[in-house]
Amino acid sequence: MLRMSFAALALGAAIVAQPTPAAVPMAVFDPVAFFTGTTEGVGQLKQAFAATHRTRTRSVGKVQGATLVLDQTVEEEDTPLRSRHWRLRQVSPGHFRGTISDAIGPVSADVAGPRMTVRYSMKGGLKVALTITVAPGGQSARNAMKVTKFGLTVATLDETIRRI
């Protein structure tokens, strides 16, 4: 929004106003629609006191009843392949709860506009917060993950996820 001085407002009164385009509505991230089917994530994992590693995650998502089921194969440079399984269920508009196989305790996911923030804990006192932001068009998203311990960041992931 432009801020105008009194003099500019007075001058503007003598000028015919030009119509402004309508505001473009902000996209709302729909994790069920985005992750149903096959997606692939490619990113960089940076751990404290370690070299940066490339990552690749292939996911197959489906809806079972009211639950999004996401089965993933995770490939991290210099590490054996591993599987991870997500189960998320919408509990109210924009709010999901569920499980992830490498989490301890419940997983929460909250959607606000084009972003979904996912929070959970892992063994060893690790706290995970990731923000997935869908790109215009809905065919890709950015995943920015931060892992903390005792309030200190011990790892970050910057990943691009694409629908295949």
Tell me which DSSP letter residue 125 carries. G
| Closest to 159 measured CA to CA, from 63, 52, 62 | 52
The gap between the terminal CA atoms of the chain, to the nearest Å, is 38
**What is the full per-residue pLDDT of the chain (164 aa) written as tens digits?**
334 333 333 333 333 344 444 444 567 899 999 999 999 999 999 999 999 999 999 999 999 999 999 999 999 988 899 999 999 999 999 999 999 999 999 999 999 999 999 999 999 999 999 999 999 999 999 999 999 999 999 999 999 999 99
Query: Which pLDDT value is given to residue 5?
Result: 37
Residue 19 lies in a domain: no
Query: Which pLDDT value is given to residue 1?
Result: 38
User: Could you tell me how far CA 150 lies from the centroid of its own chain?
Assistant: 23
Query: Which pLDDT value is given to residue 26?
Result: 60
| Closest to 61 measured CA to CA, from 99, 87, 98 | 87
Total number of domains in the chain: 1
Domain that holds residue 155: 26-163
Residue 2 lies in a domain: no
Residue 8 lies in a domain: no
CATH code, 158: 2.40.128.20
Query: Which pLDDT value is given to residue 123?
Result: 96
| Closest to 114 measured CA to CA, from 93, 132, 100, 96 | 132
Residue 154 lies in a domain: yes
